[in-house]
């Protein structure tokens, strides 16, 4: 008995079919890339990045978390075509600082705000003292869109998972009735404490209206109130700032730094900002003078102040600060960038205030471009990371010469990293040499102290550069454990879109091959077997046109505007500069004139007026 003849395989393709397959595969890959380049991303790749501004950033464990603000990018090869100058950040981003990276190649992890707050700009951000979460409060609904979704029934809290991601949820204050009476603002000056003070979040001033506070219908103005939130007791308190911030307590876009090593509880230092004489308008603004620094004890709720000397920086707002303890017993606060509301000047300089000497120093190197509306954090032992920033106020889509808007400054050498290189293995921080030399030549007791009490606060521990030891500071929050849950990579949108597009094309290809192969087989069967063949028919139906497979970027606007949600500032300039964050020429700025505060010749010590708003538990 002879063996059955071998039946030819239905998938034994001819060279012509293979050629079609290769062409369609190449086309599908090109299509997926083009489709990805048309999407608005919260973390676009470096070649599409244009500018990031109005952001907030903080460090928890091994990650820098970035939240809020605007992102401008190239879409289809053009900068925001037929669109507002920038788009909202609809996700929370993070960067791993346990390993080294460069600004060109750094990878962002993306956590979409599916169940979180709407996109905001210039909100306050506070770290939980346990190191496992951060809070945001205030901020502006971008472009006024979705302002109807602003809430005042809790404070948004992002619980981190230890791997750069996390989840959003609202935390309700224990005195919710008090919380609902405060003014939620954008541009508050903020800080958070840890250690003996138990975790206090502070937000001072800012501007309120119906795009920052759901209770402010047709009502707007500056506020001269300081909000404090005890993250352990969940109690909200308020106090008046009219006697702290001249002339009337209305402060916006300043910066504050918590310094844990002075006083029994640590101190919060108020560093610059724009001050307004009236509640209802922004005219006649003046900056806080860096020649007099106010500081707040979160436990006894008193403000004190001390005059400074040295190379005092010009008044400014929308700048950033970052603080770090030195091994000799000093603490340095770095001030970078910002703008002068009176003159319109913007700044590209870095200054250092060293405590306890209250002396200012100026770094010789300047950044390549002025910068405002951004945030700075300390990373990797001795590096200041500046995140985002605009070149001019209310200009959002000028090409940032800094890759991904990430600048790195060495806080010991006082130099910018030209290639934006972050070194996870950097040497520990030491005070800059110019600071060390100043302390060796200065008797701190000879400083003109505001009072003996202030003197005792800052001279309680010696400064010794000959035998430096780690400063006895409060312990920063610990790194939270990893949860095993991974956040989305930064290019997940284009990748998914490309895969979907490619699969659709491959499905179409398979259908065509099956169809034509079946027709050929049917003809062969008819010739050999007759009309009684049993081959099944080809696929029915049709593929949708490719033009219908491109999903649109989610629009989060009111009916009046169909573009992505944001506050609509004019576009920020276009720059072809490829220079990095350093200008070696170190040009002098034309208006670095320190101005002394009027009426501040006498010391003050103010008790915070809680005014039946609740108390802050220690």
Q: What is the pLDDT of residues 240-252, one digit of tens each?
A: 999 999 999 999 9
Residue 453 predicted with pLDDT over 90: yes
Amino acid 612: pLDDT: 35
Amino acid 108: pLDDT: 98
Amino acid 15: pLDDT: 58
Amino acid 251: pLDDT: 96
The 10 Å Cβ neighbour count of residue 295 is: 25
Token duo for residue 25: 């595969």
Pick from 320, 325, 263: which is nearest to 296 by CA?
Answer: 263
Amino acid 485: pLDDT: 45
Give the strand order in the sheet containing 255-259.
255-259, 267-271, 292-297, 302-307, 606-607
Q: What is the pLDDT of residues 545-577, one digit of tens each?
A: 323 332 332 333 333 333 333 333 333 333 333
Rounded distance, CA 513 to CA 9, Å?
13
Pick from 540, 532, 535, 498: which is nearest to 518 by CA?
Answer: 535
Rounded to an integer, the average pLDDT of 135-140 is 97
Higher pLDDT, 299 or 10: 299
Average pLDDT of the chain to the nearest whole number: 78
Rounded to an integer, the average pLDDT of 128-142 is 95
Rounded to an integer, the average pLDDT of 130-140 is 97
Amino acid 21: pLDDT: 54
Q: What is the pLDDT of residues 456-469, one digit of tens each?
A: 999 999 999 988 76
Q: What is the pLDDT of residues 508-530, one digit of tens each?
A: 555 554 444 444 443 333 333 23
Rounded distance, CA 222 to CA 252, Å?
8
| Cβ proximity of 75 and 38 under 8 Å | yes
Token duo for residue 422: 């972050």
Per DSSP, which regions of 185-262 are E strands?
A: 189-192, 200-204, 207-208, 221-222, 225-230, 235-240, 250-252, 255-259
Higher pLDDT, 495 or 100: 100
Amino acid 489: pLDDT: 55
Rounded distance, CA 193 to CA 199, Å?
5
Amino acid 83: pLDDT: 66
Higher pLDDT, 14 or 207: 207
Amino acid 279: pLDDT: 80
Rounded to an integer, the average pLDDT of 316-321 is 98
Higher pLDDT, 509 or 342: 342
Q: What is the pLDDT of residues 6-62, one digit of tens each?
A: 444 444 555 565 565 555 554 444 444 444 456 889 999 999 999 999 999 999 999
Domain 49-461+473-490+593-607 has CATH 2.120.10.80: yes
Pick from 120, 114, 112: which is nearest to 151 by CA?
Answer: 120
pTM score above 0.85? no
Amino acid 219: pLDDT: 92
- Measured CA to CA in angstroms, residue 289 lies from 292, 342, 400 at distances of 6, 13, 30
Share of the chain above pLDDT 90, in %: 58
Rounded distance, CA 338 to CA 490, Å?
29
Amino acid 478: pLDDT: 53
Q: What is the pLDDT of residues 398-433, one digit of tens each?
A: 899 999 999 999 999 999 997 889 999 999 999 999
Amino acid 17: pLDDT: 56
Amino acid 371: pLDDT: 95
Rounded to an integer, the average pLDDT of 71-95 is 86
Q: What is the pLDDT of residues 364-390, one digit of tens each?
A: 999 989 999 999 999 999 999 999 999
Lowest model confidence (mean pLDDT) among 121-130, 183-192, 494-503: 494-503
Rounded to an integer, the average pLDDT of 105-125 is 95
Is 573 buried (19+), middle (13-18) or exposed (0-12) by CB count in 10 A?
middle
Lowest model confidence (mean pLDDT) among 238-247, 281-290, 446-455: 281-290
- pLDDT level of residue 604 (50, 70, 90 thresholds): very low
Residue 111 predicted with pLDDT over 90: yes
Domain ranges of the chain: 15-39+491-527+541-548, 49-461+473-490+593-607
Higher pLDDT, 238 or 596: 238
Lowest model confidence (mean pLDDT) among 110-119, 165-174, 391-400: 391-400
| Cβ proximity of 120 and 100 under 8 Å | no
Is 587 buried (19+), middle (13-18) or exposed (0-12) by CB count in 10 A?
exposed
């Amino acid at each position: 008995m002879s063996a059955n003849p071998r039946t030819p395989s239905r998938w034994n393709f001819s060279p012509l079919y293979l050629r079609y397959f290769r062409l369609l595969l190449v086309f599908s890959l090109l299509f997926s890339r083009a489709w990805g380049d048309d999407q608005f991303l919260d973390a676009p790749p470096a070649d599409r990045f244009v500018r990031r501004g109005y952001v907030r950033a903080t460090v928890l464990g091994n990650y820098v978390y970035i939240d809020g603000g605007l992102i401008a990018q190239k879409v289809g090869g053009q900068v925001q075509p037929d669109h507002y100058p920038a788009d909202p950040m609809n996700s929370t981003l993070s960067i791993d600082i346990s390993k080294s990276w460069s600004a060109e190649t750094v990878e962002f992890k993306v956590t979409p705000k599916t169940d979180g707050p709407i996109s905001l700009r210039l909100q306050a951000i506070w770290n939980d003292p346990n190191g496992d979460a951060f809070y945001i409060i205030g901020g502006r609904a971008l472009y006024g869109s979705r302002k109807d979704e602003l809430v005042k029934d809790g404070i948004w809290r992002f619980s981190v998972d230890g791997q750069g991601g996390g989840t959003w949820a609202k935390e309700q204050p224990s005195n919710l009735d008090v919380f609902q009476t405060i003014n939620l603002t954008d541009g508050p000056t903020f800080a958070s404490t840890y250690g003996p003070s138990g975790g206090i979040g502070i937000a001072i001033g800012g501007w309120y209206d119906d795009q920052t506070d759901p209770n402010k219908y047709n009502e707007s103005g500056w506020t001269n109130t300081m909000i404090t939130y005890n993250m352990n007791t969940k109690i909200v308190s308020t106090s008046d700032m009219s006697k702290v911030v001249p002339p009337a307590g209305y402060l916006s876009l300043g910066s504050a730094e918590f310094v844990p090593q002075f006083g029994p509880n640590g101190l919060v230092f108020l560093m610059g900002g724009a001050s307004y004489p009236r509640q209802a308008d922004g005219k006649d603004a003046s900056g806080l003078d860096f020649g007099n620094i106010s500081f707040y004890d979160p436990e006894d709720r008193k403000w004190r102040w001390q005059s400074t000397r040295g190379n005092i920086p010009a008044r400014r707002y929308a700048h950033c600060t970052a603080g770090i303890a030195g091994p000799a017993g000093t603490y340095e606060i770095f001030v970078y960038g910002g703008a002068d509301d009176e003159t319109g000047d913007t700044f590209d300089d870095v200054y250092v205030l060293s405590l306890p000497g209250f002396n200012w120093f100026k770094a010789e190197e300047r950044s390549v471009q002025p910068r405002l509306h951004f945030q700075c954090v300390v990373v990797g032992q001795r590096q200041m990371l500046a995140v985002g920033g605009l070149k001019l106020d209310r200009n959002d889509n000028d090409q940032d010469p800094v890759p991904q808007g990430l600048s790195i400054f060495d806080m010991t050498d006082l130099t910018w990293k030209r290639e934006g290189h972050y070194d996870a293995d950097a040497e520990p921080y030491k005070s800059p040499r110019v600071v060390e030399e100043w302390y060796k030549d200065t008797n701190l007791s000879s400083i003109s102290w505001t009072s003996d009490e202030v003197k005792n606060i800052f001279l309680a521990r010696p400064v010794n550069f000959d035998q430096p030891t780690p400063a006895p500071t409060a312990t920063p929050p610990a790194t939270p454990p990893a949860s095993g849950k991974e956040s989305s990579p930064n290019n997940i949108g284009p990748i998914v879109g490309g895969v979907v597009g490619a699969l659709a094309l491959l499905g179409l290809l398979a259908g065509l091959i099956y169809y034509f192969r079946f027709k050929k087989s049917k003809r062969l069967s008819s010739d050999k077997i007759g009309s009684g063949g049993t081959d099944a028919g080809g696929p029915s139906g049709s593929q949708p046109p490719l033009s219908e497979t491109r999903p649109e970027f989610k629009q989060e606007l009111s009916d009046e505007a169909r573009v992505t949600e944001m506050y609509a500032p004019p576009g920020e300039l276009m720059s072809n500069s490829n220079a990095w964050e350093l200008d070696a020429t170190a040009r002098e700025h034309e208006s670095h004139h320190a101005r002394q505060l009027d009426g501040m010749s006498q010391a003050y010590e103010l008790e915070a007026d809680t005014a039946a708003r609740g108390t802050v538990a220690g």
